[in-house]
């Protein structure tokens, strides 16, 4: 088989890269092993314009957030699904200090925050003594619907092979690559944390980070918003109504990617104190984020092997970053247009040349 591009991985990065290459009329094949607990399968899908206690505006917010909204709408329309919704965050202040902190952001005229107009609106569902604010616009990408829908489309078009990619069988033949019976102009790795040991890119400064979440059923809780009080509670677009995602931990020091008893107990404690209505635990998810030391992704072609490319290092923000950088990479592959310098993997030319 001969294709222009061989893509490894169909998480959110491989999904959007294959989507844009398809739109451009390029030929490609995606290889994905359909592993469980990949970050794209366990993420909440939140696309938030602010981050941290200081509610600092996220990197390239204006450009990346509006791009993500359009990109998910477009792919959703093509697949006849809703791939993104606006779900503003209702931020319940856990203590007076956090309320003060929020009011300070209001004084600074942070365009993404405001006080909830009706402070009692959620009083039937939650305990909150110190009031609430709203962060907007916040979006939720429905990866739980999007990833299988795109996978099905690729499968129907015979553009997806479900198997484990074995890098030992990859051969670079001049300016092309050969993998088993597949010949391609380029191979692009979108393999998330699976790519950390990739021999072509293992020198990159990855800093994998472990995350955990629970899926809980909460009958009667409105699915209009994401709710926050030390943890985030996000409505899921599952066939069953009333399913919510709650998380997540950020652990830098870990022995394995398995779910922990500590997270389970802590989250149950939070839910018991926060919710006024009953909930039922359905699932405990855990996995690694493909985070990087500089908190910027790795996008582009290898400086020594231009037949090998990468779209990885999405860290905690894959849902917003992946569509934007998948489009940049597609344009770079087709028209040699530049990639944002701070995301371009060529910034590691020196260490990748060693």
Ligand X SMILES: Cc1cc2nc3c(=O)[nH]c(=O)nc-3n(C[C@H](O)[C@H](O)[C@H](O)COP(=O)(O)OP(=O)(O)OC[C@H]3O[C@@H](n4cnc5c(N)ncnc54)[C@H](O)[C@@H]3O)c2cc1C
**Least distance (Å) from ligand X to the CB of residue 103?**
26
Candidate residues 5, 6, 11, 89; the one interacting with ligand X per rule CB under 6 A: 11
Which of 154-168 are b and which e, b meaning 16 or more Cβ less than 10 Å from the residue's Cβ?
beeeebbbeeebeee
Separation CA 280–CA 271 (nearest Å):
10
Candidate residues 110, 191, 228, 323; the one interacting with ligand X per rule CB under 6 A: 191
> Which is closer to ligand X, CB of 110 or CB of 251?
251
Contact between 312 and ligand X by CB under 6 A: the answer reads yes
Whole-angstrom CA distances from 324 to 69, 268, 291, 317, 346 are: 10, 36, 17, 12, 18
Separation CA 354–CA 339 (nearest Å):
23
Gyration radius from the chain CA atoms: 21
Contact between 194 and ligand X by CB under 6 A: the answer reads yes
Contact between 237 and ligand X by CB under 6 A: the answer reads no
Contact between 329 and ligand X by CB under 6 A: the answer reads no
Asked if 317 and 324 count as a contact pair (C-beta separation under 8 A), the reply is: no
Separation CA 119–CA 133 (nearest Å):
8
> Which is closer to ligand X, CB of 86 or CB of 119?
86
Contact between 86 and ligand X by CB under 6 A: the answer reads no
Candidate residues 320, 326, 339, 343; the one interacting with ligand X per rule CB under 6 A: 320
**Least distance (Å) from ligand X to the CB of residue 49?**
12
Candidate residues 3, 7, 21, 42; the one interacting with ligand X per rule CB under 6 A: 42
Separation CA 320–CA 47 (nearest Å):
6
Contact between 309 and ligand X by CB under 6 A: the answer reads no
Asked if 141 and 47 count as a contact pair (C-beta separation under 8 A), the reply is: yes
Separation CA 262–CA 150 (nearest Å):
35
> Which is closer to ligand X, CB of 132 or CB of 322?
322
Residues in contact with ligand X by CB under 6 A are 8-14, 31-33, 35, 38-40, 42-46, 164-165, 190-194, 211, 213, 247-248, 287, 289-290, 312, 314-320
């Amino acid at each position: 088989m001969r294709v222009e591009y061989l893509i490894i991985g169909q998480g959110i990065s491989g999904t959007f890269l294959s989507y844009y290459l398809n739109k451009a009329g390029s030929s490609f094949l995606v290889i994905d092993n359909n592993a469980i607990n990949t970050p794209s399968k366990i993420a909440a899908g939140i696309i938030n314009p602010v981050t941290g206690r200081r509610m600092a505006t996220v990197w390239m917010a204006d450009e990346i957030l509006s791009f993500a909204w359009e990109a998910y709408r477009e792919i959703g329309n093509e697949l006849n699904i809703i791939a993104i919704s606006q779900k503003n965050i209702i931020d319940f202040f856990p203590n007076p200090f956090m309320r003060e902190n929020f009011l300070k952001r209001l004084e600074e005229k942070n365009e993404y925050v405001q006080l909830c107009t009706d402070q009692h609106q959620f009083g039937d569902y939650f305990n909150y003594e110190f009031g609430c604010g709203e962060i907007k616009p916040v979006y939720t990408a429905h990866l739980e619907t999007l990833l299988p829908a795109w996978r099905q489309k690729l499968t129907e078009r015979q553009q997806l092979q479900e198997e484990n990619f074995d890098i030992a069988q990859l051969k670079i033949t001049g300016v092309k690559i050969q993998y088993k019976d597949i010949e391609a102009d380029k191979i692009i790795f979108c393999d998330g944390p699976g790519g950390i040991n990739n021999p072509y890119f293992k020198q990159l400064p990855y800093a994998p980070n472990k995350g955990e979440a629970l899926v809980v059923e909460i009958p009667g809780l409105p699915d209009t918003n994401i709710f926050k009080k030390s943890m985030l509670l996000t409505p899921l677009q599952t066939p069953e109504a009333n399913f919510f995602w709650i998380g997540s931990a950020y652990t830098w020091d870990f022995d394995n990617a398995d779910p922990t008893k500590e997270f389970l107990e802590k989250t149950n404690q939070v839910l018991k104190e926060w919710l006024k209505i009953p909930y039922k635990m359905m699932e405990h998810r855990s996995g690694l984020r493909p985070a990087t030391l500089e908190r910027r992704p790795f996008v582009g072609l290898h400086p020594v092997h231009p037949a090998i490319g990468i779209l990885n290092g999405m860290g905690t923000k894959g849902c917003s970053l992946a569509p934007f950088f998948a489009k940049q990479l597609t344009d770079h592959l087709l028209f040699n247009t530049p990639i944002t310098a701070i995301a371009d993997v060529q910034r590691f030319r020196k260490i990748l040349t060693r």
